[in-house]
Amino acid sequence: MGKMLNLLKEGDRRTVGRVSDAVRLAIGKPQHIDELVDLLTHANPAVRMRAADSLEKSTVQHAEFLTPHKEQLLELAEIATQNEVRWHLAQILTRTDLEPDEMSDLAEVFDRWFRGADSRIVRTSALQGMVDLAVRDQTYLDDALKMLEEALESSIPALSARARKLRGPLQRLKSD
């Protein structure tokens, strides 16, 4: 059993367990990122959730840790059904150096999550992800604006609040 699994296996989905310890370990020894990525498909949903959280937090300042795992993470985004994994993947994947076809595929995933996810957090994360793509590549600006308008009209408080926060930056991007 790996070190990360030992840190992340205790507790149910209502607890973060030892995520902060896993983050410190991953930042200090980036080879542990491999195990975190592998744990995203672990049989235990609590382990998957904590692995996603740890990976997201470990790569905020170290996006380069994701480079060897980009393809695997993009594939996981296509098939992931667990909400906690999805919302962390939305944050994680926009940090990677994406090729144009990968950006296009990810935009489709975000659109699918925004329109069809049963989780409000996943829908909000998909909106943020689409906006992040638009900031990187204005090809996605119209899609992001369309999604933003839908979110502004949403009855989901977190979604409409995020949309209000993102409206200014997107409008500035459009006017540039």
Q: Is residue 9 located within the same domain as residue 42? A: yes
**Are 43 and 70 members of one domain?**
yes
> In this structure, are 74 and 27 located in the same domain?
yes
Q: Which residues of the chain have pLDDT under 70?
A: 1
Number of domains in the chain: 2
Pairwise CA distance, residues 80 & 112, whole Å: 12
Q: What pLDDT score does 11 carry?
A: 79
Q: Which amino acid is at 84?
A: E
Same-domain status, 92 and 142: no
pLDDT of residue 105: 97
What's the pLDDT score for residue 1? Answer: 57
Range of the domain at 29: 1-97
Instruction: Measure Cα distances from 51 to 80, 84, 127 in Å.
Output: 14, 10, 23
Q: Which pLDDT score, from 0 to 100, does residue 161 have? A: 96
Identity of the residue numbered 140: Y
DSSP letter at 44?
S
Q: Which pTM does this prediction carry?
A: 0.92
Cα separation, 122 vs 6, whole angstroms: 27
Given 44, 69, 97, the domain boundary residue is: 97
What pLDDT is stored for residue 176 in this prediction?
75
41 and 73, same domain (yes or no): yes
Residues 114 and 49 in one domain: no
